[in-house]
């Protein structure tokens, strides 16, 4: 029986390379192939971060081209192409580590590829990372829960944002780039003074906006709002 490689999803944290775990470092050191998401303009942010913690000079870098297109079929096509590229490496007996910002269990493209590759019979392993909202809470100097206080992790694109903001406890609104919409909802519910936006946490261009003060109407993809009552 041929020996195939293992597919690892490796969370590398929100941006600060010092937040990459020891286990993530060891996994990247062990795997001969590093799969890294690549944007349309050729940037590979996760790879840039990982290189600050691990020597990847001898590794094979496998770029993965994903799309943010609204059409689900287009996104599925990019997932299929990425899974096929990874499957070729695994079938040749090479372990592949896919870099993921934050944690692999949270809004991660890794999950889509994991399902496809597991269905083909390949072994998959998840290596957790520091979630962005935990790093953001530390940056704000705030805890997210206290005693029985619930924590809700949502996206700002929630179709019923007003309902989401009425949930008890702390709300984390990820992918909050369109801040104008969220600001309006917060103002209507009297929560603006309880909210803070952090964009590019741990990355160049990091910005902290308590009460969304000074936040642009479009703050970028790596923007998260914490609402703590």
**Strand-pair category, 223-227 with 195-199:** antiparallel
- E strands, 27-175, are 33-38, 60-65, 96-100, 123-127, 151-155, 170-174
With a CB cutoff of 8 Å and minimum separation 6, the contacts of 79 are 66, 109, 112, 113, 116
Q: Which residues pair with 6 in a beta bridge?
A: 123
What three-state secondary structure class fits 167?
A: coil
Please measure the distance between the N-terminal and C-terminal CA atoms of the chain and give it in whole angstroms. 58
Q: Taking phi first (over 0 means left), then psi (-120 to 50 degrees means alpha), and beta for anything else, what does residue 50 get?
A: alpha
pLDDT at residue number 145: 92
- Reference 85, options 49, 36, 131; nearest CA is 36
Q: Is the dihedral of CA 97, 98, 102, 105 positive or negative?
A: negative
Overall pTM surpassing 0.85 (yes/no): yes
Looking at residue 218, the DSSP 8-state letter turns out to be: B
pLDDT digits (tens), the chain, 229 positions: 458 999 999 999 999 999 999 999 999 999 999 999 998 888 999 999 999 999 999 999 999 998 776 788 888 999 999 999 999 999 999 999 999 999 999 988 999 999 999 999 999 999 999 999 999 999 999 999 988 889 999 887 766 888 889 999 999 998 877 778 888 889 999 999 999 999 999 988 899 999 988 877 777 778 899 999 7
**Per-state percent for the chain, helix, strand, coil, to nearest 5:** 35, 25, 40
Q: How many residues are present in the chain?
A: 229
């Amino acid at each position: 029986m041929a020996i195939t490689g293992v597919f690892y999803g490796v969370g590398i944290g929100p941006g600060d390379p010092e937040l990459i775990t020891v286990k993530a470092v060891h996994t990247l050191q062990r795997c001969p192939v590093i799969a890294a998401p690549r944007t349309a303009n050729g940037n590979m942010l996760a790879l840039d971060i990982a290189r600050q913690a691990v020597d990847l000079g001898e590794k094979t870098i496998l770029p993965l081209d994903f799309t943010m297109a609204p059409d689900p079929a287009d996104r599925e096509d990019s997932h299929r192409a990425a899974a096929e590229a990874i499957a070729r490496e695994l079938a040749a007996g090479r372990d592949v580590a896919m870099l993921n910002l934050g944690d692999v269990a949270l809004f991660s493209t890794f999950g889509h590829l994991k399902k496809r590759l597991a269905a083909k019979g390949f072994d998959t392993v998840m290596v957790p990372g520091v979630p962005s909202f935990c790093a953001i809470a530390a940056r704000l100097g705030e805890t997210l829960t206290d005693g029985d206080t619930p924590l809700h992790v949502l996206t700002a694109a929630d179709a019923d944002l007003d309902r989401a903001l009425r949930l008890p406890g702390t709300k984390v609104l990820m992918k909050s780039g369109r801040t104008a919409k969220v600001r309006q909802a917060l103002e209507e519910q009297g929560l603006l003074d309880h909210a803070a936006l952090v964009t590019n946490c741990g990355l160049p261009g990091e910005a902290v906006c308590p009460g969304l003060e000074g936040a642009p109407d479009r703050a970028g993809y790596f923007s998260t709002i914490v609402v703590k009552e």
